[in-house]
Amino acid sequence: MKPSKPPRPSVKKAPTPTRLQAVRDAVNQVDFNRFRFWFQLVAFVLFVYGGYLAIDLGTHLPFFSCGYNKEGRAGVCYLLPLQHQLGRPLAMLFTAAGLAILTGFLLFALWFIVLNKGWCGFVCPLGTIQDWITALRRSLGVRYSKYTQGQFKQLTKIKYILLALMILIPLGVGGGIFSRDMSPPFCLICPARMILPLFTGDFSQFTVDFSSMTALVMTVLGMAVTGLFLVGSFVKKRFFCFFCPMSALHYLISKPALLKLKKDGDKCTRCGDCYRVCDMEIKEIADDVKTVDIMTDDCTLCLKCVASCPEPGALKATFCGIPIFEATEAGFIKRMNKGCHDGK
């Protein structure tokens, strides 16, 4: 049996895409790394120097806009007021002051759910600094380090331990168990406290406080963590984000967030491209084909995975359920084969 000849109509031209489709295509094929670089730069300047322009976005920010950067900050990282509030005398916590903690937390949560953990990947100044250190390493041609899966599983718990300590130690200070020099405990060891004020010329955080044993231990620990941070960020992409208690806090309240990372497991070929580019080395993004809400507790929603996925629709970032950035073939090809002759 031979197939019959179908009729041949006249030659037609390609239909022009609708405006929405054109916008969608432009977004999905954006030079993602460049977009992200500029976004981070603007956010960095805003939050590290915005104070000079009297910008004040409040004290409930869900990322490290360090409060110790007294002159330049455009708002304060929520962890600082949280630790201060928890450090009040315990009796006070059962009064209106306790309500203040709850309302403060609510405000923080409202800030947070807008971008979910995207604050980490796009806005956090400390994250931006780590990305710049990574760029430095890349330009020097030094290979990056990876965790083995066993190491990954163990080390990922550290952020929860730090979060627990960050809450319990101020309560202990308020309850009189710990000396006041130990509050705010996380800020004392956070590398942002040392590094962000450097950008406004404030070197005063690079000191060791000898006034009491507690202060001595805490500031030495802070210096040690800063040293470790510098080395770690050099060899590992987004080293600190792996241990960040803010990241753990984010994850615990990430259910109602507006920006989400979604995966369609049926389309996934498990090619592992997303895992390859992931700064945090999250294996689930590649291997898990059942879960739809694929953001894990380590994820910084930097969306590099979406940018490097060649299967259309397998990964996408949605805002209030509407996909805003999807994996597309055209986007992948454009990003991975820069300068490739395309034909269309």
Partner 1 sequence: MENKLHKVIPIQPVPYSRSRQAGESQTVLDHIVNDFPDNPAAMQYFYDLFQTVYCLGEDVPHEGLLVGTTCIQAPEELIYAFGATPMRLCNGSYHYDQRGGDFMPAKSCSLVKATLGMLSSDNIIPKIGKPDLIVNPTTCDQKKKSSVMIESLGYTVFDLEFPNSKESEASREYWQRSVREFAVRLRELTGRKLTRKNLKDAIRKIGRAQVAFRKLHNFRRISPSIILGKDAFLVTNAYFFDNIECWTEAVEKLNEELAQRELDGFKAVQSKAPRVLFTGSPPIFPNLKLPLLIEESGGVVVTDETCSSNRMLYDMTAVDEWRVNDMVDSLADKYLKPCTCPIFTRNDDRRRRLLDLVKEFKADGVVYQAFAGCQVYEMEYRSVAEEFNRAGIPMLYIETDYSPDDKGQMSTRIEAFLESLKNKKKRQA
Partner 2 sequence: MNHIRHRVLPALLALLACGFVLAQDGGGRPPEGASQGEKRAFYQKRAADRAKAAESAAPAQAAAPAPVAEHPHGAPASKSVTDKAAPARSEAPARAATRPAGMGMAMRGGSGAVWLSDSPPARGDGPPRAGMGGMGGMSMGGDRSGPPTKRLWLRAGTDPVKSGFAKEDAEAPAETLLVKPQGALTGEALPAPEEGKKNLSFAMPVQGYYRLYVTTRKLQGDTLNISVAKAEVSNFSHGGDEEERSVALTAARVLETAPIEIVREKAATEPTFFQLKSGDEQAFVILQKGLPAQGARVRFVSHEGWSKEAVSDEQGRVSFQVIRDYFPPWNDFQKRFKGTYLVIADTSATEFGKHKDQPYTSVRYQATLAGSYYPAIEDYRSYAWGLGVSLLFVLFCGVAVYLYRRRRIKTFQDVRFNETK
- 236 binds partner 2 per the rule CB under 8 A: yes
- 72 binds partner 2 per the rule CB under 8 A: no
**Selected binder of partner 1 within 58, 98, 104, 310 (CB under 8 A):** 310
**Selected binder of partner 1 within 268, 280, 295, 306 (CB under 8 A):** 268
C-alpha 305: how far from chain center? 14
Alpha-carbon gap, residue 143 to 235, rounded angstroms: 8
Contact 131, 238 (CB under 8 A): yes
| Residues in 113-172 at the binding interface with partner 1, rule: CB under 8 A | 138, 141, 143-144, 148-149
**Beta carbons within 8 Å of 134's beta carbon, 6+ residues apart:** 144, 233, 237, 238, 279
Contact 299, 259 (CB under 8 A): no
> Which listed range, 179-187, 245-253, 255-263, 328-336, lies at the site for partner 2 (CB under 8 A)?
179-187
- 305 binds partner 2 per the rule CB under 8 A: no
| 16, interface contact from partner 1, partner 2, none, CB < 5-8 Å by kind | none
Work out how close the CB of 226 gets to partner 1 at its nearest, in angstroms, rounded to a whole number. 26
End-to-end CA distance of the chain: give it in Å, rounded. 37
CA R_g for the chain: 24
- 14 binds partner 1 per the rule CB under 8 A: yes
Work out how close the CB of 58 gets to partner 2 at its nearest, in angstroms, rounded to a whole number. 12
Structure tokens at 144: 């990056």
**Selected binder of partner 2 within 101, 167, 171, 230 (CB under 8 A):** 230
- 210 binds partner 2 per the rule CB under 8 A: yes
DSSP string, 181-201: GG-SHHHHH-HHHHHGGGGGT
> Which listed range, 17-25, 86-94, 249-257, 328-336, lies at the site for partner 2 (CB under 8 A)?
86-94
Nearest CA to 171 out of 98, 249, 220, 243 is that of 98
**Beta carbons within 8 Å of 269's beta carbon, 6+ residues apart:** 311, 314
Structure tokens at 46: 């805003």
Nearer to partner 2 among residue 25 and residue 209 (C-beta) = 209
**CB atoms inside a 10 Å sphere around CB 239:** 22
Query: Which of 188-209 are b and which e, b meaning 16 or more Cβ less than 10 Å from the residue's Cβ?
Result: bbbbbbbbbbebeeeeebeeee
- 293 binds partner 1 per the rule CB under 8 A: no
| 4, interface contact from partner 2, partner 1, none, CB < 5-8 Å by kind | partner 1
**Selected binder of partner 2 within 101, 217, 277, 333 (CB under 8 A):** 217
Nearer to partner 2 among residue 98 and residue 312 (C-beta) = 98
| 207, interface contact from partner 1, partner 2, none, CB < 5-8 Å by kind | partner 2
- 277 binds partner 1 per the rule CB under 8 A: yes
Report cis status (omega within 30 of 0) of the bond before 310: no
Work out how close the CB of 225 gets to partner 1 at its nearest, in angstroms, rounded to a whole number. 27
Contact 260, 317 (CB under 8 A): yes
Nearest CA to 299 out of 318, 321, 312, 282 is that of 282
* Residues paired with 323 in a beta bridge: 318
**Selected binder of partner 2 within 65, 116, 128, 219 (CB under 8 A):** 219
Alpha-carbon gap, residue 79 to 226, rounded angstroms: 18
- 99 binds partner 2 per the rule CB under 8 A: no
Binding site for partner 2 (CB under 8 A): 89, 91-92, 95, 100, 145, 147, 151, 154-155, 158, 161, 165, 169, 172, 176-182, 194, 203-204, 206-215, 217-221, 223-224, 226-228, 230-232, 235-236
